[in-house]
Structure 1
Amino acid sequence: MEKYKSLKDHVYDYIAEQILEGNLEPEDKINEAAICEELNISRTPVREALIQLASEGVLHNRARKGFVVRALSEREVKELYVVIGLLDGYAAKSACGQLTEKDLANMSFYVESMDVAIKAANFEMYHMQQTAFHNVYTQKCGNDTLIEQLEKMKSKLLKKSYVDDPEGKTREILLQTNREHRALLELFKRQAGDELFDYLMKVHWNPENAAYDVSK
């Protein structure tokens, strides 16, 4: 059963999405009036969502300036990678044996689509496909609290826009990340729960390889 979302939850998701898509960057001020107008809602749920995001460390509430997007230090990013790796690994292990042939086919489609998007430098499409890839198994883990906490942790990683540099470094980094997605898919096909947990924690979300974006 889909969890009921309050107006505050919808505002929370909207702001988190704006951050993840790079429409809101570190130190940007949140325009409460614009959000009210965009979502056609009153100020109360907007304030409630902003206060929650601030309590979770996504935003700062600054005197005389209001709510701004919080920049993360390198240490904080690495710490988030550790926690996300644990949660994502547990979600994958829990979903093992629950995925259908259609789920696996969808994940395979997303992996191939990501390769196409990266080679075409369509990084927005890449981000959409990688999110869909991970959602297939997280939604099958059977733990709504885990899913919610995982989404909150990921929302703290501020995605910056990918630049298609002349040397092709961005594309190579993302292609390597997608090779990891392909390895994850093979582990799911083998229902190798323990290996999935280790791979997500030690490789895919390795804090030593942490990038200041959400490319995973």
Structure 2
Amino acid sequence: MEEFLTLKDHVYNYIAEQISGGSLVPGEKINENSISERMNISRTPVREALIQLASEGLLENSPRKGFVIKHLSEEEAKEIYFIIGVMDGLAVSLACLFLTEQAVKDMEFYAASMDLAIETGNFVMYHKLQEEFHNVYLTLCPNKSLVNLLQQLKKKFLRRTYVAEPQVDMKEILFATNEEHREMIRLAKEKDTQGLERYLRDVHWNPNKAYMETL
């Protein structure tokens, strides 16, 4: 059964995709009228979507400027990585006992597909695939409240394009991250719940890697 999307949901998804793809960048003001005209809808659902995005920390609502894409500082990113590491580690440890052979195969498929996306420089596709990778075990986690909180927190890292910086080899960084995905698969196959929890908390979501979210 398909989930029914309201006008507000459509606007929310549209703006989220613009941020994710880099069409809207930190510091940029959201033009409510432009979105209303482009989507041929009233300003009410646009305003509702902007309020939701602001409540999730993706936008700032300034009395003078209106809604602006929020800039994420490296310190904020580190704090969020620390929290996600604890929550994601717990979630995967709870899901571990429910991981079927097919679920593990799905994770292996996504890891292989991520290698291809990285090699071709398709970073947007990489992030879609890594979300699917993590969703394999998150959908099997019995604590749905934990999963919902985790997914909400991850929205703060919505942007999926990177500013080219000569000193940063993004392919090398993402290949290394994907090797972490493979280590997670190895631990999952062994049903090492404690090892998985520690690995996600201390390695995969190590706060020292949070700088990637601010590039």
Q: TM-score, normalised by structure 2?
A: 0.86
Amino acid at match of 1:197: E
Structure 2 residue 160 is the aligned partner of structure 1 residue 182: no
- Tell me what 1:138 maps to: 138
- Tell me what 1:67 maps to: 67
Matches within 5 A, 1:11-160: 11-37=11-37, 41-159=41-159
Residue 8 of structure 1 deviates from its aligned partner by 3.6
Cα RMSD over matched residues? 2.7
Figure out how many residues of one structure are paired with residues of the other and give that number. Answer: 215
- Tell me what 1:203 maps to: 203
Residue 35 of structure 1 deviates from its aligned partner by 3.6
Q: What is the alpha-carbon distance in structure 2 between the residues aligned to residue 39 and residue 195 of structure 1? A: 48
Moved more, 40-49 or 106-115: 40-49
Contact 1:121–1:164 (Cα < 8 Å) also in 2: no
Q: What is the alpha-carbon distance in structure 2 between the residues aligned to residue 88 and residue 124 of structure 1? A: 22
Contact 1:158–1:212 (Cα < 8 Å) also in 2: no
Contact 1:16–1:155 (Cα < 8 Å) also in 2: no
Contact 2:78–2:210 (Cα < 8 Å) also in 1: yes
- The share of aligned pairs that are identical, in percent, is 53
Residue 73 of structure 1 deviates from its aligned partner by 1.5
2:67 partner SS: strand
1:68 partner SS: strand
Contact 2:72–2:214 (Cα < 8 Å) also in 1: no
2:157 partner SS: coil
Contact 2:95–2:142 (Cα < 8 Å) also in 1: yes
Amino acid at match of 1:60: E
Residues 1:102 and 1:150: Cα distance change in structure 2 (over 3 Å): same
1:210 partner SS: helix
Q: What is the alpha-carbon distance in structure 1 between the residues aligned to residue 74 and residue 49 of structure 2? A: 26
1:28 partner SS: coil
1:61 partner SS: strand
Q: What is the alpha-carbon distance in structure 1 between the residues aligned to residue 4 and residue 96 of structure 2? A: 27
What's the CA shift string for 1:96-139, capped at 9, x where partnerless? Answer: 12222222111101101111221222222212211111111112
Contact 2:57–2:70 (Cα < 8 Å) also in 1: yes
- Tell me what 1:193 maps to: 193
Q: What is the alpha-carbon distance in structure 2 between the residues aligned to residue 200 and residue 163 of structure 1? A: 27
